[in-house]
A = this chain, B = another copy of it.
Amino acid sequence: MKTVAVRNIVRADPALVERLGKAGVATVHEAQGRIGLAKSYLRPAWSPAAAAGNAVTVLAHPGDNWMLHVAVELCRRGDMLVVAVSSDNEDGMFGELLATSLSARGVVGLVIDAGCRDVAALRAMKFPVWSRAISAKGTVKASVGAVNVPVVVAGVSVTPGDVVVADDDGVVFVPRTTAAGVVAACDAREAKEAAVRERLARGELGLDVYTMRDSLARAGLVYLDSSDEG
């Protein structure tokens, strides 16, 4: 592993970040072609919670949160810290003090493929965290990892500066280079969904709204009455 901390990463346009955050995880995931979604074990430490920001990435070692301190200095207003660990670990690498420090720098949230602690304080501070566990287990500061290198977080490959969108549905990552296109796709999807929602709310059936009846019949679906089943 290259033990480096990379400064001056390129970030996404704040307007795009804001728009993706507003769309939310489910819409963004669909709009970018059903990719980039973190595994479902990343859950909000408290909820309801929602945030979006530019990813400052960390690669830490199990039981060791040294690199998080290095990363704080490289964060800017509007960033989210995104922490990967070199092997599966649930230790509480992040708590109230680091949240205080990140808040002071304008960081809007944390995604960590490990544990966090001080949940009551995080809720009180309204600092949102998505983690794989709540754990008070303390960590050492002994092994150097990396900041702002590409990492894999909860099954997704993340590049520094990518957009992170997180809410009660989980976490999705959007490559910086495709963020504008995903915003456009979100616009289209929301418009379409609004129309569908209205029809469904009136009692129309998805079978008709999406014209599925013929394809279902061709695919072999047969309707029976209960009495046919014998």
> Assuming the A-B contacts A87-B91, A97-B197, are A136 and B223 also in contact, with contact meaning beta carbons closer than 8 angstroms in the complex?
no
A14: Cβ under 8 A from any B Cβ: no
Within the complex, which residue of B26, B87, B89 is in contact with A117, where a contact is CB–CB below 8 Å?
B26
Given contacts A29-B138, A212-B69, contact A200 B86 (CB under 8 A): no
Asked if A203 meets B92 with Cβ closer than 8 Å, knowing A138-B30, A138-B34, A221-B144, the reply is no
- A219 with B144: CB separation less than 8 A: yes
- In this complex, the interface size class of chain A, counting residues with CB under 8 Å from chain B, is 35 or more
A148 contacts the other chain (CB 8 A): yes
How many of these chains are in the complex? 6
Minimal beta-carbon separation of A71 from chain B (angstroms): 10
Please report the C-alpha to C-alpha distance between residue A206 and residue B87 in the assembled complex, in whole angstroms: 25
Q: Are A70 and B34 in contact (CB under 8 A)?
A: no
Asked if A62 meets B91 with Cβ closer than 8 Å, knowing A3-B219, A119-B169, the reply is yes
Nearest B-chain residue to A171, judged by Cβ: B136
CB of B63 within 8 A of CB of A87, answer yes
A142 within 8 A of B: yes
| Residue among A118, A134, A135 facing the most chain B CB atoms (10 A cut-off) | A135
CB pair A136 B6 closer than 8 Å = no
Top 7 nearest A-B pairs (CB, nearest first) are A142-B142, A62-B63, A69-B206, A26-B136, A40-B135, A101-B200, A62-B62
